[in-house]
Amino acid sequence: MKRARVVVSGAVQGVFFRAETRDRARSLGLAGWVRNAPEGTVEAVFEGDDERVESMVAWCRRGPSGARVDDIEVAWEEPEGDEGFAIR
């Protein structure tokens, strides 16, 4: 079980980043959330199976087809037992 907090910067708002993140995370059975941050980044938390969390973090490095990812920050945290995945 892993938990990752990611902050993605670039052209990542207004390109369905949150919706695609939610759909992919749910399809992988991950818990957590995703939101647009005021500074123009997208922040997300993924919690679940190690390989699936790592797969989601790797996807965030590319993002959806309309996005341009310039940078991604990843912080590994202790799992908190989140359930479900939501857009905040």
Q: Has 88 been annotated as catalytic?
A: no
What CATH number is attached to the domain comprising 21? 3.30.70.100
Determine what percent of the chain is predicted with pLDDT higher than 90: 100
If one counts the domains in the chain, the total is 1
Determine the pLDDT at residue 42. Answer: 98
Predicted TM-score (pTM) of the model is 0.96
From 18, 22, 24, 52, active-site residue: 18
Q: Has 24 been annotated as catalytic?
A: no
Residue 82's identity, in one-letter code, is D
Q: Judge whether 50 lies within some domain.
A: yes
Helix/strand/coil (H/E/C) assignment for every residue in 22-86: HHHHHHCCCEEEEEECCCCCEEEEEEECHHHHHHHHHHHCCCCCCCEEEEEEEEEECCCCCCCEE
From 5, 24, 36, 88, active-site residue: 36
pLDDT digits (tens, 9 = 90+) for 10-40: 999 999 999 999 999 999 999 999 999 999 9
Q: Judge whether 57 lies within some domain.
A: yes
Q: Judge whether 86 lies within some domain.
A: no
For range 62-68, the mean pLDDT = 95
| Sequence-ordered list of residues with C-beta below 8 angstroms from that of 3, at least 6 positions apart, any chain | 32, 45, 46, 47, 53, 76, 77, 78, 79, 80, 82
* C-alpha–C-alpha distance, residues 31 and 48, integer Å: 6
